[in-house]
C-alpha cells in the first residue's frame, strides 16, 4: 500500500490492489489449464466494481450472474453473452427475457416451475433457452450455515429425488435445450474433501444418466473455494493448483464434456481492504473500544456470518509505541452486532489512526447499505 495515497483518503473507503488481482487471475488461469475442458466463470456477486470486472474480463473468464443488474454489468464490462451464465432461485420474467434476448450461455435452473416459465417465455420470443439443472447434492460443505447451500433443507437446487422428473421434463420441452447439470455446495470452503464428495456424487449421477443414453455437455461444479482470512500476507493467492487438480483427478468425464467453475471470493477477496479511521477510544471497566468510522453498513460479513477479518494499523510512523493493547473494534451503527472484532491486539491507538480491515474484496463493498442513512463507501484502485 502506498501510504501517501492512503493519508489523503476520506474514510471509510475500499482499497483495491489491481496488481494482486492480476497475479491471482494469472495463477488461476495457469492452474485451470491442467485440463482443456475446464472453463471458469467469475461470480459477479462477489464484487461488481466496473474496473474489477474489466480486469477479470480481460483474462478471458466468463461471468456467473444472479440478477438483471449483474447481467448488464457483465455485458457493459465486455463479457461476451455466450460466456454468461444466469443462476438464482427467484428469476423474474423480466430477467429471464433479458437473458433470452442476449442469448446467454446458460440458465442454471433451480426448480421445475422455473423451467416451465423459461420454456414458455422462450417460446413467446421464438427462441430456445440453454439450460442446466441445478442439483441439490445433499452434501455438507462444513462452512457457516448461512453460506452452505447443498443441504436438503436449503432453498437451492432441485432435490436429487426429483431430478429424473426434471430431466424428462426438460427433454419434453421444445424451447429449452438441456445442456448440463449445475452444483454449488457452499462458500468459503477450506477443506477440499467436500469437493471430493461432490465429484463422487457427480460421477454417480452422470453414470446413472449415461445408462439412459443421456450425456450432459456441461458439468458445472459451482464455486466456493475459500481464502485465508487469518493470514492474508502469507496466503494472498489461494491454492488454485490443488483445487483444479482435485477435479481433474476425481471427475470422470468424456473428452467432449466441459467443466464449468464459478469462483467469486477466491478471485477478489484478498485484493481488497476496507480502510477506516479511529474516531474515539473508549475505555470502560471491562472493555477498551476503538470506535471507527466504518460500520456494518460498509462491511457486513462479521455481523452476518461471524466472519473474521484481520485488522491492522496502517503505520504513519508517528509515536505509536510497540506495546500491544487489546481492543474491540466497533462501528458507529446503532446495532450491537456492529463489531468488526473483539480483543484484537494492536499498538496503542489514537484518534485519527488508520486501520485496514483485510481480505474485504469479496462480499464487502457490494453488500454495503445505507442503513442509518449513511453514505456508501468509496473506493481507491491502486496499481492499475
Ligand atoms: C455465490 C455463488 C458462487 C460463488 O461463490 P464463491 O464462494 O464466491 O466462490 C458460485 N455459484 C453460485 C451458484 C453462487 O451462488
Residue 55 belongs to what domain range?
Answer: 18-268
CB of 46 closer than 6 angstroms to any ligand 1 atom:
yes
Report residue 367 as a C-alpha cell.
453488500
pLDDT value of position 322: 75
CB of 223 closer than 6 angstroms to any ligand 1 atom:
yes
Do 276 and 312 lie in one domain? The reply is yes
Phi, psi of 309 (to 5 degrees): -120, 135
Atom nearest to 45 CA in ligand 1: 1
Domain limit, last residue, from 268, 292, 307: 268
Task: Give all strands (DSSP E) within the chain, no chain letters.
Answer: 13-17, 38-43, 62-65, 84-86, 106-109, 129-136, 158-159, 176-182, 218-220, 258-263, 272-283, 288-292, 311-314, 324-330, 339-347, 354-357, 378-382
Atom nearest to 43 CA in ligand 1: 4
Do 145 and 237 lie in one domain? The reply is yes
- pLDDT confidence band for 139 (50 / 70 / 90): confident
Mean pLDDT value across residues 49-71: 98
Are the C-beta atoms of residues 370 and 332 closer than 8 Å to each other?
Answer: no
Atom nearest to 224 CA in ligand 1: 7
Domain count for the chain: 2
Do 179 and 73 lie in one domain? The reply is yes
CB of 187 closer than 6 angstroms to any ligand 1 atom:
yes
CB of 264 closer than 6 angstroms to any ligand 1 atom:
yes
Distance CA 74, CA 63 (A): 7
Is a pLDDT exceeding 90 seen at residue 138?
Answer: no
Tell me, what CATH number does 26's domain have?
A: 3.20.20.10
User: For all residues of the chain together, what is the average pLDDT?
Assistant: 95
CB of 64 closer than 6 angstroms to any ligand 1 atom:
yes
Do 7 and 140 lie in one domain? The reply is no
Domain limit, last residue, from 236, 268, 300: 268
Please provide the DSSP assignment of 67-99 as one string. Answer: SHHHHHHHHHTT--GGGEEE--TT--HHHHHHH
Is a pLDDT exceeding 80 seen at residue 336?
Answer: yes
Domain limit, last residue, from 268, 300, 321: 268
Do 281 and 221 lie in one domain? The reply is no
Nearest-CA residue for ligand 1 atom 7 is 224
Do 280 and 241 lie in one domain? The reply is no
- pLDDT confidence band for 150 (50 / 70 / 90): low
Do 69 and 153 lie in one domain? The reply is yes
Tell me, what CATH number does 278's domain have?
A: 2.40.37.10
Do 156 and 294 lie in one domain? The reply is no
Do 114 and 157 lie in one domain? The reply is yes
Between 316 and 156, residue with greater pLDDT: 156
Do 260 and 184 lie in one domain? The reply is yes
CB of 366 closer than 6 angstroms to any ligand 1 atom:
no
Do 249 and 334 lie in one domain? The reply is no
Amino acid at each position: 500500500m502506498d501510504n501517501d495515497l492512503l493519508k489523503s483518503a476520506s474514510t471509510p473507503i475500499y482499497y483495491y490492489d489491481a496488481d494482486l488481482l492480476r497475479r491471482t487471475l494469472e495463477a488461476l488461469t495457469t492452474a485451470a489449464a491442467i485440463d482443456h475442458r475446464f472453463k471458469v466463470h467469475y461470480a459477479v456477486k462477489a464484487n461488481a466494481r466496473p474496473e474489477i470486472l474489466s480486469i477479470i474480463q480481460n483474462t478471458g473468464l466468463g461471468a456467473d450472474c444472479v440478477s438483471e443488474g449483474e447481467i448488464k454489468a457483465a455485458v457493459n464490462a465486455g463479457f461476451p453473452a455466450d460466456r454468461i451464465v444466469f443462476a438464482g432461485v427467484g428469476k423474474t420474467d423480466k430477467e429471464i427475457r433479458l437473458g433470452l434476448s442476449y442469448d446467454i450461455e446458460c440458465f442454471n435452473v433451480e426448480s421445475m416451475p422455473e423451467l416451465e416459465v423459461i420454456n414458455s417465455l422462450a417460446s413467446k420470443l421464438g427462441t430456445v433457452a440453454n439450460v442446466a439443472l441445478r442439483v441439490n447434492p445433499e452434501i455438507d460443505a462444513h462452512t457457516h450455515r448461512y453460506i452452505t447451500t447443498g443441504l436438503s433443507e436449503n432453498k437451492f437446487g432441485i432435490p436429487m429425488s426429483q431430478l429424473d422428473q426434471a430431466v424428462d421434463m426438460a427433454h419434453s420441452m421444445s424451447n429449452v435445450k438441456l445442456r448440463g447439470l449445475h452444483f454449488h455446495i457452499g462458500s468459503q470452503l477450506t477443506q477440499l474433501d467436500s469437493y471430493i464428495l461432490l465429484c463422487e456424487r457427480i460421477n454417480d449421477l452422470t453414470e446413472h444418466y449415461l445408462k439412459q443414453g443421456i450425456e450432459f455437455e456441461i458439468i458445472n461444479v459451482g464455486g466456493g473455494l475459500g481464502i485465508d482470512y487469518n493470514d492474508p500476507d502469507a496466503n494472498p493467492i489461494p491454492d488454485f493448483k490443488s483445487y483444479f487438480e482435485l477435479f481433474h483427478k476425481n471427475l470422470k468425464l468424456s473428452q467432449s464434456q466441459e467443466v464449468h467453475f464459478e469462483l467469486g471470493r477466491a478471485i477478489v477477496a484478498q485484493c481488497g481492504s476496507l480502510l477506516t479511521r479511529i474516531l474515539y477510544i473508549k475505555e470502560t471497566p471491562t472493555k477498551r473500544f476503538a470506535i471507527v468510522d466504518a460500520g456494518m453498513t460498509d462491511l457486513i460479513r462479521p455481523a452476518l456470518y461471524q466472519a473474521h477479518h484481520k485488522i491492522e494499523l496502517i503505520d504513519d510512523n508517528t509515536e505509536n509505541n510497540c506495546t500491544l493493547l487489546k481492543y474491540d473494534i466497533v462501528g458507529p451503527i446503532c446495532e450491537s452486532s456492529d463489531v468488526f472484532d473483539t480483543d484484537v491486539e494492536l499498538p496503542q491507538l489514537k484518534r485519527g489512526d488508520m486501520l485496514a480491515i483485510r481480505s474485504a474484496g469479496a462480499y464487502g463493498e457490494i453488500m454495503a447499505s445505507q442503513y442509518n442513512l449513511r453514505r456508501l463507501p468509496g473506493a481507491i484502485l491502486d496499481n492499475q
